[in-house]
Amino acid sequence: MLTLPHPRAHERAFVLVPWLAVEPNALLSVAGQRVPVAALVAHLAADEVAGVRRTDFRLSEVQE
């Protein structure tokens, strides 16, 4: 189980939108209740959600 330390992660598009893309059935505990991440995204302002965009950036291993 993933534990996010930010107490307002459920209000942040930059957390929720990528999370939803990786795990469409993800749940987040909010005030002691497990809430679908998709429902949390649905309650965010459309312009905030639209501001989160996928990039072509990829992590790679460091070559020594």
How many percent of the chain have pLDDT more than 90? Answer: 61
> Is residue 63 one of the residues assigned to a domain?
no
CA angle, residues 50, 31, 5, in degrees to nearest 5: 65
Range of the domain at 19: 15-50
> Is residue 20 one of the residues assigned to a domain?
yes
Query: What is the reported pTM?
Result: 0.77
CB neighbourhood size of 17 (10 A): 19
pLDDT mean over 35-51: 96
CB neighbourhood size of 33 (10 A): 8
What was the pLDDT predicted at 64? 64
**Residue 19: pLDDT above 80?**
yes
Number of folded domains in the chain? 1
